[in-house]
């Protein structure tokens, strides 16, 4: 079931901690940290990010939790992306591993923080951003900003018409102009390859 989207959801825009896309197009990977397909696609995220930037687009990872799932992995990720964008990959990978490989529940932000400390994420993050602070991330994770970020991602899923994740959407001026989802490919790798080919074509025609 797709998440209910708050009426407060607004058009997707650039994260405060990240530069605007040169082309005005942002490619967004909509995903769920509990999803096996999303974890498989995540292995190729860096390659897609580099390709998107090479053609003048930017790329974002935007997680959404379904009903009954913990909201804290998503909120931790969004807080990190806004405050310390250079370290977002560390948090993204840690959330996938914690939920899917280690069976973490992440029922509170304190559990997320403890897990990240155990994984020595702060030690690695400080090498990428000397100002990195789990305390700052934990504080921001509890704000309305992170809730709104997830609501925006949920709105994009609904606009894409997809029924499963991961979904890759091309967004311009807050509107979805192209979308690719699991219904377009037999497996996550095939979907990633489709997205890669689309990026290298630099096509931004409206989705049919």
What confidence score (pLDDT) does residue 146 get? 95
List domains and CATH numbers for the chain. Answer: 25-201 (3.40.30.10)
Q: Which of 144, 123, 141, 119 is nearest to 132 (CA)?
A: 123
Question: Prior bond to 166 cis, omega within 30?
Answer: yes
**Intervals of the chain under pLDDT 70:** 1-20, 202-208
Distance CA 71, CA 144 (A): 13
What confidence score (pLDDT) does residue 174 get? 78
Distance CA 58, CA 90 (A): 19
Our CA dihedral for 106, 49, 185, 13, rounded to 10 degrees, sits at 70
What confidence score (pLDDT) does residue 2 get? 45
Distance CA 46, CA 89 (A): 9
What confidence score (pLDDT) does residue 18 get? 55
Residue 29, strand partner residues: 61, 168
Segments of 23-131 assigned E as strands: 25-31, 58-63
What confidence score (pLDDT) does residue 175 get? 84
What confidence score (pLDDT) does residue 122 get? 98
Cβ density class 64-93: b for 16+ within 10 Å, e for less: bbeeebbbbbbbbbbbbbbbbbebbbbbbb
Sheet holding 175-180, edge to edge: 58-63, 25-31, 167-172, 175-180
Tokens 């990428």 correspond to what residue? 128
What confidence score (pLDDT) does residue 21 get? 77
Q: In this structure, are residues 149 and 62 in contact, taking their beta carbons and an 8 Å threshold?
A: yes
What confidence score (pLDDT) does residue 9 get? 34
């Amino acid at each position: 079931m797709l998440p209910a989207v708050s009426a407060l959801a607004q058009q997707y825009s650039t994260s405060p901690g990240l530069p605007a896309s040169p082309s005005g197009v942002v490619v967004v990977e909509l995903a769920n940290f509990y999803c096996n397909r999303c974890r498989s696609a995540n292995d190729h995220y860096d390659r897609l990010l580099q390709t998107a930037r090479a053609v003048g687009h930017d790329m974002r990872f935007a997680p959404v939790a379904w009903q009954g799932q913990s909201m804290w992995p998503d909120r931790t990720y969004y807080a990190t992306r806004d405050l310390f964008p250079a370290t977002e990959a560390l948090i993204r990978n840690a959330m996938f591993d914690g939920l899917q490989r280690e069976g973490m529940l992440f029922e509170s932000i304190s559990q997320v923080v403890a897990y990240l400390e155990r994984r020595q994420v702060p030690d690695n993050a400080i090498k990428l951003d000397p100002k990195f602070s789990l305390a700052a991330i934990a504080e921001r994770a509890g704000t309305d900003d992170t809730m709104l970020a997830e609501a925006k991602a949920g709105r994009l899923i609904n606009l894409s018409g997809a029924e499963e994740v991961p979904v890759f959407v091309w967004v311009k001026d807050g509107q979805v102009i192209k979308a690719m989802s699991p219904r377009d490919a037999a497996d996550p790798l095939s979907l990633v390859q489709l997205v890669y080919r689309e990026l290298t074509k630099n096509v931004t025609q409206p989705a049919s």
